[in-house]
Amino acid sequence: MRMYWAENLKYRHTVTGKLWILMQTLTLLLAYGISQGNGISSAYNWWYILMLPGMVTLSACMIIEKDRKGKNRAVLSLPVSPGKVWDAKILVGMKTLLLANLLGAAANLILGLYLIPRFWIPQVLEISPAQIAASGAVMTAATLWQIPLCLWMSQKWGFLPALILNMILNGSGPLAAVTPYWILDPWAILPRLMTGIIGILPNGLTAVPGSMTYTPGITDNSVILPGVLVTIAWLAVLWGLSRFWYERKGAQTV
């Protein structure tokens, strides 16, 4: 935990440390400002499809870039194993993800359920507090695995290649989510689970027969637990492998 707090202090007054506020606020402003009556559905759809993976990738790349600028000398000089440093970086990324989803849940609860429908415009989609809570929990749990992956890609290949590659791979998620093989694509698991929770397809349409890309059973909530367990398994595997790599040679790649 001392390594986590030390790592966390690096970003206390930086854009990296405030990224969760900036990205979530931008999403909310765009969703409610442009979509208006579809504000709450757009806030969720745009967030987990585009802004959330973008924030996770940017955050991870910026965490790595902080030490890469100094050619990792600060890491190599520490009297602790590089694996503990790697754990701290992953925990900082997890904190960013958790805070962003907590902010989104609170904002959508207050704005989408109470303030905007009462004082401005009714929302076409009504999402209950239970759905908001479930959405926040699932978006967090099903995205955690991307943190060690993005950290590793950024450490291995650099900021821009990692950013571009992970965003391209995230683009496969909405396409695979509506197929029977969605669970084989880890980027498709979150879009599939969110469809069952809020009833909105990855393309933004209501998940009802007749909507483009709708398939029978796509709103089945029984897949939520298996889907989350698969993403947690991905997290454990990627955390372990990336930590092993960083301990062996990652921190010395300058």
pLDDT tens-digit series, residues 133-166:
999 999 999 999 999 999 999 999 989 999 999 9
82 vs 38, higher pLDDT: 38
Within 8 A by CB and 6+ apart from 221, the residues are 196, 197
| pLDDT beyond 90 at 253 | no
Q: Tens digits of per-residue pLDDT, 198-247? A: 999 999 999 999 999 999 999 999 999 999 999 999 999 999 999 999 98
Q: Give bridge partners of residue 200 from the DSSP assignment.
A: 206
SS3 string, 101-133, reads: HHHHHHHHHHHHHHHHHHHCCCCCCCCCHHHHH
pLDDT above 90 covers a percentage of the chain that reads: 72
Average pLDDT over residues 70-86: 70
| Angstrom distance (rounded) from CA 224 to CA 196 | 8
Report how far residue 82's alpha carbon sits from residue 164's, in angstroms, rounded to the nearest whole number: 27
Residue 46 has pLDDT above 80, yes or no: yes
For residue 182, CA distances in Å to 123, 154, 179, 192, 208 come to 30, 26, 6, 7, 19
Mean pLDDT within 63-72 = 73
Q: If you ran DSSP here, which 8-state letter would residue 80 be given?
A: S
Mean pLDDT computed over 74-94? 82
**Where are the chain's structural domains?**
2-252
Contact 78, 224 (CB under 8 A): no
